[in-house]
Amino acid sequence: MSDQEKRKSTARTSVELFAGGGGLAMAVHNAGFQPLLVNEFAKRAVETLTENGAAARDPRDTSPPKPGKGRPGRRAAGWPLVPGDVRDIPSFEFLKDAEVDLLAGGPPCQPFSLGGVAKGDEDERNMFPEMFRAIREMRPKAAICENVRGLLRPSFKPYFEYIKREMSLPFVQRGEGASWEDHDAVLRKLLKDGSVNPSERYDVVHIPVNAADYGVPQIRQRVIIVAFRADLGVEWGKHTPEPEYSESALIDSMHDGTYWKHHDDAPGIDLIRERVMATLPAASLMPDGKKPWRTLRDAIAGVDGNKPLPPVTVQQVREKLLVNSIPDHMGWPGARVYTGHTPNELDRPAKTVKAGVHGVPGGESVMRLDDPNFDDTGYRYMTVRETARVMTFPDDWVLAGPRGEKMRQLGNAVPVRLGEVFAKAVRAALDDAEGRA
């Protein structure tokens, strides 16, 4: 076996911070990285990781960690889980010798108020500094973060650019009492003059994404930040994932009938098709060659090997009954539509899954049904299992806690499929760079 083949056959390693319910951690694992450490603070999310096989580890333990391999049915089996506040982990130095390939996580960054940032009074819940500390202490080859698209708003842009420069130069720490603007000026100067050792500098890019464009049956606007240690010579450009799915391809598939053929066993599908087609724009004159966006109906019917979920009856909704003993596929009463809370449509990707807003469990998780007379409203709440599907969590992933907490974990998560697309691209870029070494 050649040196290049040996490098590519060696299992890569990862560390996951702010793991939540496990979406990005699972995605990274699916991409071929074995977790050396997984950290999460929220009690119910920790329970979810534990239910799926993660094994608790003392945050003060500095012994070399053994990678967790996981397996179907216990997907997080053996993942070394450090529960609690990441700030209570004294140091990540013990991971340096492990040569961590990928540090992943979605640091909480809300709420950044324009006034607060302008004054230098950044919210204490901003966990990007902990991400930078981890980079500094373990020196991973790459890092990947997911966060809200709102960071790209003009009001946040100066601070977001500062975040990226901090990630580029994690060893250049902010001085005691210094404002972020003062620190940013130092970072700008160092990046301009190119005086920093490449082993202590990261090349950072951000990619705005809509999860639906990557095969997730949900409209979810996010930003992905990817960083590679500069001394590795990674050429990210040729590995950046391109969107493979589109709205126009979905519309075209409805016009040519291929979409409806996938659902020809749905009750009343001819009338449903007629109603939906009446609202569609014309088919594309020049198809884009992409795959159709996946819809909520697709997710419920089953994609990527999932079996169809059975329908939920009015009785199961009113009495909160489990459907066919399927975990988390339970009816829930009280769904209604009102100003600001428009429903999910079955023949569109689901709306963004939220972490519980406006007092509604799971945010705007109401769906319009094919039957306009269902429960006298024509609406019901999505079940937790349906919601997990539009987040592309596998059906065998166990979620801990009451319904509201499960929905919160899903709303805070990275869709597994989206994370996997980018984690695989990061791995390919590292393989390519090290294969040329």
Cβ atoms within 10 Å, residue 194: 8
Question: What amino acid is encoded at 418 in this protein?
Answer: L
CB 205 within 8 A of CB 213: no
Burial class (CB in 10 A: 0-12, 13-18, 19+), 293: buried
Question: Quick one: which of 295, 294, 333 has its CA closest to 312?
Answer: 333
Active site residue 145: no
Give the span between the Cα atoms of 147 and 152, in whole angstroms: 10
Tokens of 137: 């202490």
Spot the catalytic one: 89, 95, 109, 366: 109
Give the span between the Cα atoms of 229 and 403, in whole angstroms: 41
Measured in whole angstroms, the distance separating CA 107 from the mean position of its chain's CA atoms is: 12
Tokens of 176: 């005691």
Q: Give the CA angle between residues 207, 214, 22 to the nearest 5°.
A: 85
CB 18 within 8 A of CB 39: yes
Q: Give the CA angle between residues 183, 157, 141 to the nearest 5°.
A: 65
Give the span between the Cα atoms of 180 and 224, in whole angstroms: 22
CB-based contacts of 370, cutoff 8 Å, min separation 6: 266, 267, 268, 272, 346
Question: Quick one: which of 350, 322, 339, 369 has its CA closest to 411?
Answer: 350
Question: Quick one: which of 326, 336, 325 has its CA closest to 300?
Answer: 326
Cis omega (within 30 of 0) for bond into 72: no
CB-based contacts of 226, cutoff 8 Å, min separation 6: 142, 143, 144, 204, 205, 206, 207, 236, 422, 426
CB-based contacts of 74, cutoff 8 Å, min separation 6: 52, 53
Query: DSSP letters of 183-234?
Result: HHHHHHHHHHHT-S-GGG-EEEEEEEEEGGGGT-SB--EEEEEEEEEGGG--
Catalytic residue annotation? 109
